[in-house]
A = this chain, B = another copy of it.
Amino acid sequence: MDVVNFRILEALQEDARMPFTRIGQELGMSSPAISDRVKKMEDLGVIRGYKAIVDPKALGYQFQAMITLRAFVGKLRPLLDKVPQLREVRNCYRITGTENIIMEVVLEDQGHLERFIDLLIAYGETRTHVVLSQVIAQNPLGRPLAKKD
């Protein structure tokens, strides 16, 4: 993980479909060299995949929300098993603090939001924060300053 790899990561986080030839041009390298490095980063788990970023609003999801949940005793495990089946959940984290879980969800309308919360209250006490706007979205990960290869 030298500086070249971080330049490659930077490019691919900005546009995952950018051709290796062009990345190579900007770095003064050939495309096989880039390809080798990318494959190695994929194998090492540094690169976990490539995803299209889709706008929920454009698909008809009127609301986005952050929901924290404090699980009832014995209900955390069942919830963790349930969450992967919920299409509304885009991201879900186990966290420290009085709440156990925080998830980012997309909802089609008010009724959908209500039904979703109803579903959750079987597992714990929830707190819902409707998203007003996204200030930063998928900011690329840079090189850790403390990192000494």
Which residues of A pack against B, CB within 8 Å? 1, 9, 12-17, 44-56, 58-61, 64, 66, 80, 83-84, 87, 89-97, 99, 101-103, 106, 108-109, 112, 127-147
CA separation between A66 and B91, bound complex, in Å? 12
CA separation between A110 and B61, bound complex, in Å? 38
CA separation between A146 and B9, bound complex, in Å? 38
Q: Which of B16, B97, B138 contacts A91 (CB 8 A)?
A: B138
Q: How far is the CB of A62 from chain B (nearest CB, A)?
A: 9
Q: Which of B58, B103, B139, B141 contacts A44 (CB 8 A)?
A: B58
Q: How many copies does the complex hold?
A: 2
Q: Which of B58, B96, B130 contacts A95 (CB 8 A)?
A: B130
Contacts of A139 in B (CB 8 A): 87, 89-91
Q: Which of B64, B128, B138, B141 contacts A56 (CB 8 A)?
A: B141
29 contacts between A and B (CB under 8 A): A1-B59, A15-B49, A16-B17, A16-B50, A16-B52, A17-B17, A17-B50, A44-B58, A45-B58, A46-B58, A47-B55, A48-B54, A51-B53, A59-B147, A61-B144, A66-B93, A83-B135, A84-B136, A89-B139, A90-B138, A91-B137, A92-B135, A92-B136, A93-B131, A94-B132, A94-B133, A94-B134, A101-B135, A102-B129
